[in-house]
Amino acid sequence: MLMSALLFLFGVFLLFFLFRVRRPKNFPPGPRALPLLGTLLEINPHNPLKSYKKLAERYGPVYSLYIGRRPAVVLAGQKVIREALVTRASHFAGRPDHMLISHIVECKGVSMADYGPAWQEHRRFALTTLRNFGMGKRSMEERILEETQHICAEVEKHSGKTMDPQHLFHYATCNIICSILFGCRFENDDTYFKNLIVMIEEFLKLIYSPWAMLYDVAPFTRNLPLPFNRTFDVVRRIKAHILKVIAQHKDSWVSGQPRDLIDCYLDELEMRTDKGTTFEDSQLVSMLFDLLTAGTDTTSNTLRTTTLYLTTHPHIQERCYQEIEEVLGSREQVCFEDRQSMPYVQAVIHEAQRVADVTPIGLYHNTTTDTHIHGYNIPKGTMIIPLLSSALHEEGQWKSPHDFNPENFLNERGEFVKPDAFMPFSAGSRMCPAEGLARMELYLILVTLLRRFRLVWPEERGAPDYDMAFGITQAPKPFHVTVHLRGDRN
């Protein structure tokens, strides 16, 4: 019996010795890593944000974790995030290739492709094409305003009643990005369209879920029938739709007469006949997938959060309405340029983005070379977790870091200002390529809605819940609003 116990203890010791985690020299501090598990037990699997913030309080703005046996460094606070993503951009611009999200997108496209020629060429192509199709121009304003009318029509149906805005904005943002990518839009009552929205939401929840964490920490589980396999199924279904649209485009494509981003890519493929080109069909599918999912969910969730806060802060909503009326007067439609004359509305929109904290950790980065930050050595291939949420709520950077207060974006003269800690789209070379489109959508949709409707929190629903449901994109929990047409006080 004693011998059995001694053998067991020896086995445990041997296991610990063989699989112990060795921290590199001058590596950032962090909690002790266990064999195989790493620091998994330190992280709340359902909402890791709280864990990340507590660890930053304990270890400072740069600290380390272990995803299984793989090291990761968390960056907290705008100063170190900017040092990494902006000042040392090329050093921190890589993407990890061993995680669920990496395997799902096959490390292609513009989001999770590793730093190199393929990513650089496709990002440049995406930015150029988005600009050519109107991002920041009047033609894009018209597309957004057209979709805004569909939003208003739906809201008006509920005048004098309550409604659930769960997918109200998803339909508009998805149709806007679809018009750029695929040259078409869906009707809001289209069954496939509704299913597509649900699939995008499901995908974005699953890839940062507890099951995704298990996939990343324990590779031996990847062949088991566990819930993370659902993610691959959802992605296959979305990509099947993308492949179908690409095939249709190839049948009707006319060289040099692009209707949308797919046609532009086909033109590029025709011009690039050299064997070294990074342009090919699988890259096109991945890029379309990236832009479709990101362009649908982030802006729509920000608009839902804005709606939540404006219904529960009626004095802020009314001040927005007054400024809108003063600037637009008898003019029927708003234009993007009007934002220059609406500092308070701009402040409200940016404050809503700040509290919405839609992408709290963005996408994981990877170091492309041996580098350093905040006095610590960071080896090549180390995963980097930029805690964008920490900058958006950082003490000393905001007048009211923990409250909804548009004064965070106004100076003493009432002029709009944007602090350096505002980075909802990340920063540096990996910054969201569709930031300009998102800014136009937020402004034009919100101004049009507030001008036509007064949105009220239904008291019978009880106190509002401002807590966010965590995911790669955070979202407010379901809620209802009561709708009144402007001028109708019943």
Whether pTM exceeds 0.95 = no
Q: What percent of the chain has pLDDT over 70?
A: 94
pLDDT in tens, 182-236: 998 998 889 999 999 999 999 988 888 888 888 888 888 888 888 889 999 999 9
Residue 353 has pLDDT above 50, yes or no: yes
Residue 471 has pLDDT above 90, yes or no: no
Average pLDDT over every residue of 407-417? 96
Report the SS3 class of residue 89.
helix
Which tokens belong to 364? 């994981």
* C-alpha closest to that of 205 among 478, 472, 477: 472
pLDDT in tens, 286-314: 999 999 998 899 999 999 999 999 999 99
Domains with residue ranges and CATH for the chain: 19-485 (1.10.630.10)
Report the SS3 class of residue 391.
helix
Average pLDDT over every residue of 8-16? 45
Residue 17 has pLDDT above 60, yes or no: no
CA distance linking residue 192 with residue 198, whole number of Å:
10
Residue 390 has pLDDT above 80, yes or no: yes
Question: C-alpha distances in angstroms, 114 versus 76, 283, 428, 433?
Answer: 23, 13, 15, 16
- Is there a contact between 172 and 300 (Cβ–Cβ < 8 Å)? yes
CA distance linking residue 57 with residue 40, whole number of Å:
18
- pLDDT confidence of residue 362: 87
CA distance linking residue 358 with residue 46, whole number of Å:
16
CA distance linking residue 308 with residue 49, whole number of Å:
21
pLDDT in tens, 48-97: 999 999 999 999 999 999 988 899 999 999 999 999 999 999 999 999 98
DSSP states of 193-234: HHHHHHHHHHHHHHTTSHHHHHHHH-GGGTTS--TTHHHHHH
